[in-house]
Each structure stands twice: as structure tokens, then as C-alpha cells.
Structure 1
Amino acid sequence: MKQRDQITMSGDEVAAFLADARKVQLATINPDGAPHLVTMFYGLSAGRIAFWTYRTSQKARNLARDPRVTCLVEAGEEYFDLRGVQIAGTVTPIFDLAGVTEVGKLIAAGMRDVPAEALDAYVAHAATKRTGYLVTPAKVASWDHRKLLS
């Protein structure tokens, strides 16, 4: 068995890993073709990565021009602890206030150290200035180096 096959996560492992994490490294494509890489908080909507951003942000402008993204969620500090999921795909923008608010609620659900009423007010205010996005995967790669020790 190839090492790559040994460390690949199953579909259920990928789903559990994505459900447990909160931050994604998101790459979009700048007008000059260079990658634009940022870290974003995200939530999951029917198993798909959902995020939001200000409508005038660089990533929003990039996605309006080219909907392709690469998302990386990773964990681990030492080699045999490394785990990650990379998703290459496209985004579907969400412009309506109710949809953007729903994405904001998904993201806010992961913020456990803030009172719910404060989060609700924040999401309602922030949603008026943002666009939501859902990532549709075209290719998923995963790895769990902990499997090398078993």
C-alpha cells in the first residue's frame, strides 16, 4: 500500500474533521493571477464550507470575477500529528439578507466564548455589509499522519 493511500481520510473522517474545525485558509485568484490567501472562520451547510466576507473585500472582488477557490483546513504541530483537508472547487455567492444572515449564524455557532445574544446582534448587523458563500467541491484531498503510527 502506498503511504498516500494509508493516510487518506475516509469520507466520514473528512466530515468529522471539517465539523470540528473553525478556521479555513482560503485562496482566491487576484486579477494578476497571483493567489490571495486569507484565514477565515467558517461553518458547514449541508456538509459544505460556508463563509462570509465584506462585499468590498479583495476576496469578494476576486470571487465575483473568478469563482474558483482552494480551501485548506489543517491541524497538528508535529509531523505525526498532521491532519488536513484541501478542497478545490467553486463558490456560489449568497446575496439575500436572510441567506447571508444564515451563513453568519453558522459561523457564530462556533464562537463558544461569546454570549448568544451578543452574537445574534453582531450577526444581524454584520450581515447587512457582507456576502455569503458556499463552496462546491470539485476535488478533495486529505491526510492524517496519525495513521502512520498505527
Structure 2
Amino acid sequence: MSRRDQIQMTPDEVRRFIDSKKTITIVSNGPGGFPHPMPMWFARDPDDSIRMATYRTSQKIKNIQRDPRVSLLCETGIEYQELRGVVLYGRAQLIDDFELACDTLLRAGGRGEGLPRDEAAAKTVMDAMRKNAEKRFVIRVAPERVVSWDHSKLGGAY
């Protein structure tokens, strides 16, 4: 068995790893051809597509309009035996849908914390989120290729 095969995550491990993260790095192709990496909050859908919401005039949007090919990266670890990560490759779809933007912002921003329990505070957060959603596109990426690694599977071997 190759080293690559030994450290590759299963599809369920990939899902659990992605779901454990709040931030994913989207890498689009910049105007000069150089990669344009940006950290984003995100939500994973049941079909494993990833959604993010970003300002309509952002450089990411301009890049995706020109070339929809992107990669998404989640990673962690300091020491070699701790290194774990996932890269998703796909074509970004830009969606202009207010309700979907609201849902994306709520799911992405609420990862870990959720809405405040106090009803008035929750309403304040929801109102601000809805106002914010008016200015955003949803970026949706359905993975076409997945690359993963989990060096802890090597049992401390290098």
C-alpha cells in the first residue's frame, strides 16, 4: 500500500473533518494568473457541496466570473504526525438568491455558536444578517475531485 493510500481519509472522515472547521480557504485564479487564496466561513450541504456568501464586488467574485475553477482547503496540525487536511477541486457557481444568502450566512456564521438564546438578541442578529445578505452572492462548489491526508494514520512513522 502506498503512503498516499495510507494517509487518505475515507469520505466519512472527510465530512467529519470539514464539519469540524469553521473556516475554509477558497483559492480562485486572479487577474494576473496568480492564485488568490481567501479564508471564508462556510456551510457544507448534504450533497457535500460547499457554500459561502461574499460581497458581490469582491475580488473572488470577479475571479470566478472570469474563471470558475477553484480549490478549497481545510487543514490543521503543527507537527508532521498531526498534519490533516482536505483539498476540494471544483467549479464555483455564483448564485444571486437572497434567501439562500441568508441561509448560508446563518449556517456559516452560526457554526459552533448558534443564535443567541435571548429572543431580542437573536432578532437583532437575524435582522443584521438579512441586511448583510442583500449585498452578497452565494458561492457554491460541488467537489469534482477530493484530496485528503491524515498523517496520524502513520502511527508516528515518517
**Normalising by structure 1, what TM-score?**
0.93
**Structure 2 partner of 1:56:** 57
SS of the residue corresponding to residue 111 of structure 2 reads: coil
User: Structure 2: 5+ residue runs without aligned partners?
Assistant: none
Further displaced range: 15-24 or 116-125? 116-125
Identity among equivalent positions (%) equals: 36
Distance 2:134 2:27 in 1: 24
Distance 2:115 2:81 in 1: 33
What do the CA deviations read for 1:51-78 (whole angstroms, capped 9, x no partner)?
1110001001111111111100011111
SS of the residue corresponding to residue 28 of structure 1 reads: strand
Is the strand fraction higher in 1 or 2? Answer: 1
**Normalising by structure 2, what TM-score?**
0.88
Q: Are residues 1:132 and 2:138 paired? A: yes
Question: Once the 2 structures are TM-superposed, how far is the Cα of residue 86 of structure 1 from its aligned partner?
Answer: 0.2
- Matched residue type, 1:139: R
- Between the two proteins, the alignment pairs up a number of residues equal to 150
**Structure 1 partner of 2:11:** 11
Per the alignment, do residues 147 and 23 of structure 1 end up closer, same or farther by CA in structure 2, a change over 3 Å counting? same
- Matched residue type, 1:91: A
User: Structure 1: 5+ residue runs without aligned partners?
Assistant: none
Max Rg structure: 2
Q: Give the 4+ runs in structure 1 shifted more than 4 A.
A: none
Distance 2:10 2:143 in 1: 16
